[in-house]
Structure 1
Amino acid sequence: MPKVLELVQPTLEAAAVRGIFALPRSVRRLIAGAPIRLDGQELALDAQLLLKLQQLRGQDGLAAATPELARAGMRQATHLTSGDPVRGVVVADRQVPTAHGELAARLYRPRELTGSSPLLVYYHGGGWVIGDLDTHDDLCRFLAKHAGVRVLSVDYRLAPEHPFPAAFDDSLDAYRWAVDNADELGTSRDAVAVGGDSAGGNLAASVAIAATRSDDLTAPVFQLLVYPAVDATTRRRSRELFGNGFLLTDQDMTWFMDHYQPDESLRSDPRLSVLLTEDLSGLPAACVVTAGFDPLRDEGEAYAARLAEAGVSVVSRRFSDLIHGFANMRSVGDRFEEALFEIVGALRAGLSLQKV
């Protein structure tokens, strides 16, 4: 019987979460508490309610005693916030050969898309320590379906088993493989974009730079950077303001970086701290998304500003009422899905403009 309860409990908890979010707004406000206002912003009710439920479950961040426990925690959180799969998406597993062995990958295609299309090579978030193909399955399905593109999600090696620059090396190798196998993937060499969230946004940005500067590699046509981590050397104001109580904590950020690049003297490497890259000119057009209540907010916006200063076409969009990780919360709150639809619109527009 205990084993049965262990299997049933996650499903019951997920149903309870969806039930709470389906309550009338007045009841949800009562559960969430008084509106939270900080730095001239008001936190969305959906985000505040999710944080309240997290608090009631005794969770205050993403880190844990061990990487294995943190990974299990993210998988459980994904289950709690998951809903019905996005319909009309064909999914196929792939294996990506690299210099360090094969990487698991997953190719997503809208069912109605039968001809060639742009391909978004996507790197999941999770501080380079947690996260996998499954934790970002819903997001990749959503991007493929509503942007009308193929998406290749890459399961790069994680720290601390594989510290920096392993994740970067894998990400660049996966991008190279996607370009070299463009026809088989249903795209063309000059229609491959990169994207990612959080640590994945860091990897997408660093791949875009490396590929653009490479003599033997086609540069991406677009980069979608969702609340990216871009500077491991500086504490900015948003980390002080939002480093506690908004999902991603100050302690989490330290824990992730200590696992990924434990040597502080090497954290200025531009493959990690892409904001410190001297020359950003000539990079592909970018959409940089930030969340108002996110410790990473200010560094992401600083990177967008530097791209613009370098003459790169960039859209910088802050969702001032949301928190880090909102792209993975679509199924529970309307506000999260609204934001994702806007991001999809920017991706569609950015890829369309490259065809002109």
Structure 2
Amino acid sequence: MNYKQALNYLKSNSNIEQEEGTEVIFKMAADTSRGDLDPFLLKDREKELEGTNATIEKMPQEIKMPDFSNLEVATAAALQMRATMGSDNIDLSNGVTTDHKIVQGNYGDIPVRIYRQEETTKLVPALIFYHGGGFVGGTPTVVENFCKGIAEKLPAVVINVDYHLAPEFPAPAAPKDCFRVLEWVAENSAELGVVASKIGVSGDSAGGTLAAAVSYMDREAKTNYVGFQALLYPALTLIDEDNEKYQWDISKFSASDDTIPLVAPGIIGMNSSVELLRTVYVRDENPASPIYSPLSAADKSIYPPTLIASAEFDALRAFADIFAKELRTSGVKTKAIVYQGMCHAFIDKYGIFPQAEDVADEIVQMMKEVFK
């Protein structure tokens, strides 16, 4: 099945399922059984192994973690993680322009990339996007084609934010940068061609955390700029108690025998990363603050309408379910999606994995519903 056929299959094949006491839309992948990797992802993994001594059968299922409570050890690990990040993807957009601007923040310049349809003359909604990378890595380049797709499809003005990273700039630099860009977009909405009352925030992984942080900070500041948030496999807590309570053991993912060697290292590694992030990113800040652990927000009714998406073999899947459940209980319009056969960070392969384009389409659809 080719890319387009697989994308169409995603849009017409889904199940409504119960996970962690809440309803999720489980989007089925073409030519894939439950517990197996999506064929596009499997092909990508096999390609990554070409030319190395590694094989699927040799992939480790247990990972011994160093002492991440030590700042020097955690910093070295974070910089090593940063060096491995980044993925090739494809620009599927047509007629989208890119502008580069600098926003002044408390920690220095915040570069932003701004995408819009070149022929759009009317005011349109805005979506501010924060890239993933564990708060220590990632770049706007990795998510650029994803953002350009949304700018064309909605259409919208999409702002891709190059916020400051730890360990060089520990918390609260990243959330403050991200909130400052929200203020800048609202303040310059006319110049940007944006409807000031139609601003959304989004991000993937750590960027999803930052999007939720911005939504929270927006309500705390009573600016009320954010009308929608799309959280893509977000990291929702840095609290050990939460992780012990909600974290799924590898067996709960029901991966097939062939799939376990491919997904176990990523799941186990992510399950073990909380201490590293607290040490290298949060530092002296309170990790229980909702800007670092959105699950800790006492009043979740403050959040705007939310799309939350995760993957079948993502260590953060259970936390997305719990957050969706608590948002709904608090009266927040929430749509929760799980993508069959996928792993964490799948939007990095925009144009290669159909699920990446599908979740962009889901963001577009929900923004249209929210910003009628």
* TM-score of Structure 1 vs Structure 2, range by shorter chain: 0.7 to 0.9
How far did 1:74 drift? 1.8
Retained in 1: the 8 A contact 2:351–2:357?
no
Identify if the C-alpha distance between structure 1 residues 239 and 153 changes in structure 2 by more than 3 Å, giving closer, same or farther. Answer: farther
Q: Using the alignment, how far apart are the partners of 1:239 and 1:245 within structure 2?
A: 15
Tell me if the contact between 1:221 and 1:351 (Cα under 8 Å) persists in the aligned partners: no
1:29 matched to which residue of 2? none
**Contact 1:194–1:224 (CA under 8 A) maintained in structure 2:** yes
| CA deviation profile, 1:112-142 (whole Å, cap 9, x unmatched) | 3222100001100010011111122121112
| Contact 2:309 2:338 (8 Å CA) reproduced | yes
Is the 1:206–1:271 Cα contact (8 Å) retained in structure 2? yes
Q: How do 1:1-356 and structure 2 match up within 5 A? A: 41-56=35-50, 57=52, 66-75=77-86, 78=87, 81-84=88-91, 86-215=93-222, 217-233=223-239, 234-235=242-243, 236-238=246-248, 240-241=250-251, 245-246=262-263, 248-252=266-270, 253-254=273-274, 255-262=276-283, 266-332=286-352, 336-337=353-354, 339-356=355-372
Q: Distance in 2 between matches of 1:317 and 1:287?
A: 8
Tell me which moved more, 308-317 or 318-327: 318-327
Identity of aligned residues (%): 27
Cα deviations by residue, 1:149-197 (Å, 9 ceiling, x for unpaired) = 1100111110111112211111111111111111111102211110000
In structure 2, the residue corresponding to 1:92 is in which secondary structure? strand
Gapped runs of 5+ residues in structure 2?
7-30, 64-73, 254-259
Cα root mean square deviation, aligned: 2.9
| TM-score of the superposed pair, with normalisation by structure 2 | 0.75
Q: 1:41 aligns to what SS in structure 2?
A: coil
Residue type of the partner of 1:224?
A: A
Q: What is the TM-score of this pair, normalised by structure 1?
A: 0.79
Find the aligned partners of 1:160 and 1:173 in 2 and give their Cα distance: 20
Q: How much has 1:349 moved relative to structure 2?
A: 2.8
Decide whether the 8 Å contact of 2:75 with 2:167 is kept in 1: no
Q: 1:202 deviation in Å?
A: 0.3
1:237 and 1:67 mapped to 2: Cα distance?
Answer: 22
Give the aligned residue type for 1:124.
H
* Residue-pair matches, total: 312
Q: 1:256, CA displacement in angstroms?
A: 4.2
Q: Which structure shows the higher strand fraction?
A: 2
Check the 8 A contact 1:244/1:250 in 2, yes or no: no
The answer to whether the Cα contact below 8 Å between 1:125 and 1:196 also exists between their aligned partners in 2 is yes
Residues 78-115 of structure 1 deviation map (CA, whole Å, 9 limit, x = unaligned): 2xx33356332100001011122210100001223222
Match of 1:221, SS state, is strand
C-alpha displacement of 1:239: 5.9
Q: Which runs of 5+ in 1 are unaligned?
A: 1-20, 26-34
Q: Find the residue that maps to 1:42 and give its secondary structure.
A: coil
**CA shift in 2, pair 1:262/1:288, >3 Å:** same
Tell whether the 8 Å contact from 1:74 to 1:131 is kept in structure 2 after alignment.
Answer: yes
